[in-house]
Structure 1
Amino acid sequence: MSYHWNWGILLSPVSTGEPTTYLGWLLSGLWVTVTVSLCAWVIALIVGSFFGVLRTVQNPRVAAIGTVYVAIFRNIPLIVQFFVWYLVIPELLPVSIGTWFKQLPPGAQFFSSSIICLGLFTAARVCEQVRSGINALPRGQRFAGFALGLTQWQTYRYVLLPVAYRIIVPPLTSEFLNIFKNSAVASTIGLLDLSAQARQLVDYTAQTYESFIAVTIAYLLINMIVMSLMRIVEAKSRLPGYIGGK
């Protein structure tokens, strides 16, 4: 193999004159990836839970709202959604809001568009997890809530959702991992995340293997940390008699 390995390039100052190293570029990209993914996950969990509840209510028209949301966001490729949120949505907003967005620094535009797009895309998947968790519960739990004098929303809040969330911790873990991997698509609209910084390092140094091996290790570390944390959550939230319970 004629390739010239040079791991020391990661500690070399960047050729652009910035006061950092190529490793610094990767670390800044890692920070962006983690920040975007965590912010998007908050949106996904809140929005996905809301529409997941809508899909399980007895009113067909209300349930249809959640169905339409899932159909739209799950059937449009993620890369297309990134470009829609970055290029199209600002043009459809009121002029004052669209102008304000366009006047933001490019980095802020990339960052905010990525968070919203990734969060709403993942919310459609979380919605299905929440719906499945609620539907997996015995129907008697819903009726028991009504028998206690709770309203429909109080029944969801105090009876159904606390149990449903514990059941769906394993599939939610998969979605949590996916959001970190899907964040790499945001580089297509200009976000300097981990994958974008890796390509930039290759462009400036031509050290392809070192760059992408380092990025691969970074993603593996993220996944290992997430898996470890979610195992703890799953162990603490297990309920006897349900999936994963003892």
Structure 2
Amino acid sequence: MNNFDLSILLSGQYHEWLISGVVFSVQLAIITLLLAVPLAILIAVLRITPLAPLRGFAILYVEAIRNVPLLAHMLFWYFAAPEFLPESLRTWLYDHNFEAASAVIALVLYTAAYMSEDIRSGLRAIPKEQMEAGRTLGFSFLSTMRLVILPQSLRVTVPPLINQTLNLWKNTSIAMVIGVAELMYQAQQVESATFKGFESFAFATAAYVTISLIITGLSHLYQQRYPVRSV
């Protein structure tokens, strides 16, 4: 009979597996966020640029990424993309933790596509007269965007970006399908070794809820300190 026994997960190597999974999941989320935000800003700016080819590229990127499940992105970057590389390079990648790199690539591209739409909404919330005023003063499109439009729009878009960060944290669990040693992967490993499925996944659930509540709390604190006002 499989009796409830949490003590087996609170000491020894199984505890270390689960904690390492939590730490790696947090690291995966932070690295992805640091890379996804700049890419999202770039894509959002390209979406409203007067240059049609760049605007078309940004639209194609967003639509192509958002209409494919994240699971498919993970599998593509780990199994399919390396097939286009020389065998020696492919072997080297698989010998050097390519699972984590594939997960980061998939998460960055996927998260940036969604974040870019939030940022674009913030850009469109800024009155167009401000862009026209900047251009009248002799600033280029990029200079006006960088000095006038983006500083205002990013403050407006912080709350939805925090929500996307929450989604990103939960999406890190999908990396387990390509063998990334994140939280869900480690919980599954512990369950396989101990047959303590309830305890293992209860620990993982509690970790996801805890980090999610921290992110939500930070969002509330930000909105209380910097309430969004009409532009």
TM-score (norm 1): 0.87
Q: Which residue of 1 aligns with 2:25?
A: 33
Question: Are residues 225 and 203 of structure 1, via their aligned partners in 2, closer, same or farther at CA, if it must alter by over 3 Å?
Answer: same
Q: Tell me the amino acid that sits aligned with residue 158 of structure 1.
A: L
Compare relative contact order (CA 8 Å, sep 6+) and give the higher one, 1 or 2: 2
Q: Which residue of 2 aligns with 1:53?
A: 45
Shift of residue 155, structure 1, vs aligned partner: 0.6
Q: Is residue 2:81 matched to residue 1:89?
A: yes
Q: 1:117 aligns with which of 86, 97, 106?
A: 106
Decide whether the 8 Å contact of 1:129 with 1:168 is kept in 2. Answer: yes
Quick one: distance in 2 between partners of 1:131 and 1:23? 43
Quick one: distance in 1 between partners of 2:203 and 2:90? 38
Alignment of 1:48-197 (within 5 A): 48-93=40-85, 97-104=89-96, 108-197=97-186
More helix by share: 2
Question: Are residues 57 and 237 of structure 1, via their aligned partners in 2, closer, same or farther at CA, if it must alter by over 3 Å?
Answer: farther
Quick one: distance in 1 between partners of 2:30 and 2:168? 8
Deviations 1:168-193 (A, max 9, x none): 11111111001110110000000011
Q: Tell me the amino acid that sits aligned with residue 157 of structure 1.
A: R
Q: 1:213 aligns with which of 189, 202, 217?
A: 202
Deviations 1:167-220 (A, max 9, x none): 111111111001110110000000011011111111111112211111111111
Q: Tell me the amino acid that sits aligned with residue 56 of structure 1.
A: I
Deviations 1:24-46 (A, max 9, x none): 11100001100111111112111
Q: Which residue of 2 aligns with 1:222?
A: 211
SS at match of 1:34: helix
Q: 1:203 aligns with which of 192, 204, 223?
A: 192
- Structure 2: stretches of 5+ with no match in the other structure: none
Quick one: distance in 1 between partners of 2:223 and 2:89? 42
Q: Tell me the amino acid that sits aligned with residue 203 of structure 1.
A: S
Q: Tell me the amino acid that sits aligned with residue 154 of structure 1.
A: S
Shift of residue 229, structure 1, vs aligned partner: 2.5
Quick one: distance in 2 between partners of 1:95 and 1:236? 54
Quick one: distance in 1 between partners of 2:216 and 2:26? 15
Decide whether the 8 Å contact of 1:166 with 1:234 is kept in 2. Answer: no
Decide whether the 8 Å contact of 1:43 with 1:116 is kept in 2. Answer: no
Q: Tell me the amino acid that sits aligned with residue 22 of structure 2.
A: L
SS at match of 1:168: helix
TM-score (norm 2): 0.93
- Structure 1: stretches of 5+ with no match in the other structure: 14-20
Shift of residue 228, structure 1, vs aligned partner: 2.5
Deviations 1:99-140 (A, max 9, x none): 542342xxx211111111101111100111111111111111
